[in-house]
Amino acid sequence: MITLTEENYIKAIYHLGKQGVETVNTNAIAEALQTKASSVTDMLKKLAEKGYADYIKYQGVNLTLEGKKIAIGIIRKHRLWEVFLVEKLNFKWDEVHQVAEDLEHIKSEKLIDQLDAYLKHPTHDPHGDPIPDRDGNFKQIEKILLSQATLGKKYQCVGVKDTSSAFLNYLDANTIALGTEIVLLHKEPFDQSIKIKINSREITVSQNVAKNLFLKTV
């Protein structure tokens, strides 16, 4: 039986390794989970013994196929719960992450399949992240960051890189949400701040905002 702590480590390794593609070092995991490097090393050895990870001392860790399967399953549950909380219980998009962190550890596959069906099989969560289907497949969309956008082109907001309450509250205050149409009007050479048009309104956003807002071409 996999423990809650083991699931948290597996999910962290998956995200830090960019969906399991790259090797992750011990210090990065310790920082992400706010724990000691020695504790991380002990856990990685346990995960390796259970067949969830390949760990090489001083080099780092990769998830095995079984480890990736577990990680994707946790992510699927987390994002489905976020959709449920927003669509059915009227949570705001900045309120759901921590609640979903708890709900993602529920083990019942039947419950999650029923939840998926009840929600009519959503493909993306409230932050624009893709939801894996029952077989672990993602529906990816082509997207770029606002910082990479082209002047004069029309885009649509499709996601956020930063899911913190502070950033989501900032977007709410500036009426930027998933589906919002955005036109890039000007990039300031001095500080890389960007003037954008949202509907008929013009605002200037910082480079930090621009690096955390995902867009697709309309």
Mean pLDDT in residue range 5-29:
94
pLDDT for 115:
98
pLDDT-derived band at 199 (thresholds 50, 70, 90) equals confident
Would you kindly state where each structural domain of the chain is located, as residue ranges? 4-63, 144-217
Tell whether the model's pLDDT for residue 196 goes beyond 90: yes
Same fold for the pair 4-63 and 144-217: no
Please state, for a pLDDT cut of 90, what percent of the chain lies above it: 94
Query: Can you tell me the distance from the alpha carbon of 81 to that of 104, in angstroms, rounded to the nearest whole number?
Result: 8
Query: Can you tell me the distance from the alpha carbon of 30 to that of 37, in angstroms, rounded to the nearest whole number?
Result: 5
CATH entry, 4-63, from 1.10.10.10, 2.30.30.40, 3.40.50.10420, 2.30.40.10: 1.10.10.10
Backbone angles phi, psi at 181, to 5 degrees: -85, 135
Query: Can you tell me the distance from the alpha carbon of 65 to that of 52, in angstroms, rounded to the nearest whole number?
Result: 8
The two beta strands, 181-187 and 194-198, are antiparallel
pLDDT for 142:
92
Which is it for the CA torsion 69, 71, 77, 80, positive or negative? Answer: negative
Tell whether the model's pLDDT for residue 19 goes beyond 90: no
Of 44, 8, 14, 10, the closest CA to residue 26 belongs to: 44
Cβ atoms 128, 214 nearer than 8 A: yes
pLDDT tens figures, 59-68: 999 999 999 9
pLDDT tens figures, 124-176: 999 999 999 999 999 888 999 999 999 999 999 999 999 999 999 999 999 99
The CATH code of the domain at 144-217 is: 2.30.30.90
Tell whether the model's pLDDT for residue 1 goes beyond 90: no
Across the chain, what does the average pLDDT equal?
96
Mean pLDDT in residue range 83-109:
97
**Residue 144 CA, distance from chain mean position:** 15
pLDDT for 140:
83
pLDDT for 139:
85
Cβ atoms 93, 127 nearer than 8 A: yes
